[in-house]
Amino acid sequence: MAERAQRKTPDSSRRSERSRRAIHDAALALVVEVGYAKTTIEGIAARAGVGKQTIYRWWPSKAAVLLEAFLDLSERAARESGGAGEPGVADGPYEIPDTGDLETDLKLVLRATVDQMNDPRFEVPSRALAAEGIVNAELGTEFARKMLEPQLQLYVRRLAAAQAEEVGGVRPGIDLRIALELLVGPVAHRWMLRTAPLTHAYADTVVEYALHGLAPRPPRP
């Protein structure tokens, strides 16, 4: 009898996790479908099948809901990919591959970045959070700290590894923070302003310009 009663006892933590995931999915779906401005806590609650008081118990605003949902989506995507060029491998933290060829490695990861920025699942929430972060300094700081900075540090570590090698492609004394901005800055600028399509060819050119500069190269022997 006691065993039967124990089996019927609901697992509140599992129920909470289901509700949280449903809220995440609802927030991301609504932003894609109707836009950030028309997304509301009430709409998210109705889509997720929960009361809005449940959302307010966990988050102070729709921006906070969307930020956590987007971070969760990004983490799941990283786990599923397991790192650039290694689909399905989910062991250990994501890192930019180090094949010994810096240019190839950077092209690989920047191409993956372009693919993600062109994917509506990531593009629409990213734009919403970037725009909201301009007028909401607290959200902007949190978005940069939790989402952007960890990604930028991947570039720092890969460039530092190349700098430590005798023939690694990065000379000593280079400010690695500025160096990574030469890679990600143009892509972010084109994406934000929609000045031209984001393509793999563009990503490759950005890497080549960043690594080799704009000055004429000596003729090959």
CATH number for 145: 1.10.357.10
Torsion sign, CA atoms 141, 143, 148, 149: positive
Rg (CA), the chain: 22
pTM of the full predicted structure? 0.78
Element housing 52 (H / E): helix 52-58
Taking CA atoms, 57 is separated from 52, 64, 117, 211, in Å, by 9, 12, 32, 49
CA distance 60 to 38: 17
Q: Is residue 215 part of a domain?
A: yes
- The interaxial angle of helices 149-164 and 102-118, nearest 10 deg, is 170
- Nearest partner of 20 among 60, 68, 61, judged by Cα: 68
Residues 138-182 pLDDT 10s: 889 999 998 889 889 999 999 999 999 877 788 888 999 999 999
Give the chain's mean pLDDT.
85
Residues 196-208 pLDDT 10s: 999 999 999 999 9
Residues 10-42 pLDDT 10s: 444 556 889 999 999 999 999 989 988 899 999
At residue 189, does pLDDT exceed 90?
Answer: yes
More confident position, 175 or 4:
175
pLDDT at 14: 59
Q: Is residue 144 part of a domain?
A: yes
- Mean pLDDT value of segment 119-144: 89
Q: Is residue 79 part of a domain?
A: no
Q: Under a CB-based contact definition with an 8 Å cutoff, are residues 136 and 128 in contact?
A: no
How is residue 177 written in tokens? 């923070």
Report the percent of the chain where pLDDT is more than 90.
58
Q: Is residue 116 part of a domain?
A: yes
Torsion sign, CA atoms 23, 24, 29, 34: positive
Domain tally for the chain?
Answer: 1
pLDDT at 95: 83
At residue 90, does pLDDT exceed 70?
Answer: no
How is residue 33 written in tokens? 């479908």
pLDDT at 89: 29
Domain of 112, in residue numbers: 96-221
How is residue 137 written in tokens? 């300094």
- Nearest partner of 108 among 75, 80, 86, judged by Cα: 86
Q: Under a CB-based contact definition with an 8 Å cutoff, are residues 19 and 53 in contact?
A: no
Q: Under a CB-based contact definition with an 8 Å cutoff, are residues 52 and 41 in contact?
A: yes
